[in-house]
Amino acid sequence: MNFGVIGYGYWGPNIVRNLTSLEDSQVLAIADMSPSARARAQKAYPGIRVTADAADVIQSVDIDAVAVISPVWTHYELAKAALENGKAFHQQRDSGGDVNQSCPAKESHDHG
């Protein structure tokens, strides 16, 4: 499975490390808005594409699943976009934010 990771702050490096260690999987792209986070990602994983734009990850036809490891207030829109682009997604635990926007997968199921 080919993964994309959105967010390379505190937990992002751990998630990328864990995903790259899985058999039959690889991380193809990492997105983070922070220039310093992108520099750290590029240094640690020179073979992985690093971008500032989460849409590059979400819209990539080569990526099967997206790990959303960004600030909680971004989770809903990123997870919704991932689903709309046919991606499986993992969302970092939701520790706050709007309870009505916690799970776009449930919303899609409820209205689908």
Per-residue pLDDT of 24-74, as tens digits, reads: 999 999 999 999 999 999 999 999 999 999 999 999 999 999 999 988 888
pLDDT, residue 42, reads 98
Number of domains in the chain: 1
pLDDT, residue 70, reads 87
Which residue is it, tokens 């499986």? 88
In terms of phi and psi (left: phi > 0; alpha: psi -120 to 50; beta: otherwise), the region of 24 is left
- Note down the domain range covering 43: 2-111
What 3-state class would DSSP assign to 7?
A: coil
109 confidence band (pLDDT: 50, 70, 90): very low
pLDDT, residue 43, reads 98
pTM: 0.81
CATH of the domain at 79: 3.40.50.720
92 confidence band (pLDDT: 50, 70, 90): low
95 has pLDDT over 50: no
Q: What contacts 72, CB < 8 A, 6 or more positions away?
A: 92, 94, 95, 96, 97
